Amino acid sequence: MKPRHFSMLREFHLADWFTLGNAFCGTGAIFAAMRYLQDGVVRDLLLGMALIPLAFVFDALDGRIARWRKVASTLGRELDSLADVISFGVAPAALGYACGLQGGWDWLILSYFVGCGVSRLARYNVTAEQLSGAEGKVKYFEGTPIPTSVLLVAVLAWSAWAGALGHAILLGVVQLGPWQLHPLVLLYALSGSLMISKTLHIPKL
């Protein structure tokens, strides 16, 4: 039988569409950050930040729906990881940059954060079966799950709401050698490091 156009989309399960909703929110947040950098309208930035908790809701629902309908698949797992990279890795980094984390050291740390998120998700996909119990369900996460970066966005949202953006961002700025470092970016370094921890076990509810 000859494949039809968009046949892949026809094979998506309900849970997969929720996963795509997650990715849609993350992409929207990145565009909102760019729009703020272009026009300087804080409302655009706040809108982008609001999309991250919505992405979190989609991320929580897709797994529940997949288990409810008993349609978990390898494709769904890969979709989930790719969506999470956008919404909870790249988008929080882009929002942080838009808020004022634009020093040279900030760039490195934000990139480190995204790299940790990508590594965390790749490791989970590879080790999920090993971590599964007799019932085939993963009982705990190694390192913090990447959606915990929603907490970083909450801090940024509070800073934006208070008008602490750009040069006035929370905790100020220091000059370290040739580049600037905004101490607030160290929260990203901490979050990324916790994600790739091998010894930190978080029970999966």
Q: What is the DSSP string of 134-178?
A: TTS-B-EEES--GGGGHHHHHHHHHHHHTT--GGG-TT--EEETT
CA torsion sign for 144, 148, 153, 155 is: negative
> What pLDDT score does 161 carry?
94
Cβ–Cβ under 8 Å, residues 37 and 88: no
Per-residue exposure over 74-92, b if at least 16 CB sit within 10 Å of its own CB, e if not: eebbebbbbbbbbbbbbbb
Cβ–Cβ under 8 Å, residues 52 and 156: no
Please say whether the structural domain 12-203 has been given the CATH code 1.20.120.1760.
yes
> What pLDDT score does 126 carry?
81
d(CA 36, CA 30): 10
Is pTM beyond 0.75? Reply is yes
Written as tens digits, the pLDDT of the chain (205 aa) is: 455 555 555 566 677 888 999 999 999 999 999 999 999 999 999 999 999 999 999 999 877 776 655 666 667 678 889 999 999 999 999 999 999 999 999 999 999 999 999 999 998 888 766 665 545 566 677 889 999 999 999 999 999 999 999 999 999 999 999 999 999 999 999 999 999 998 887 777 6
Place of tokens 């919505």: 54
> What pLDDT score does 28 carry?
98
The stretches of the chain forming alpha helices (DSSP H) are: 7-10, 14-39, 42-69, 74-85, 91-99, 104-131, 150-161, 186-195
> What pLDDT score does 15 carry?
78
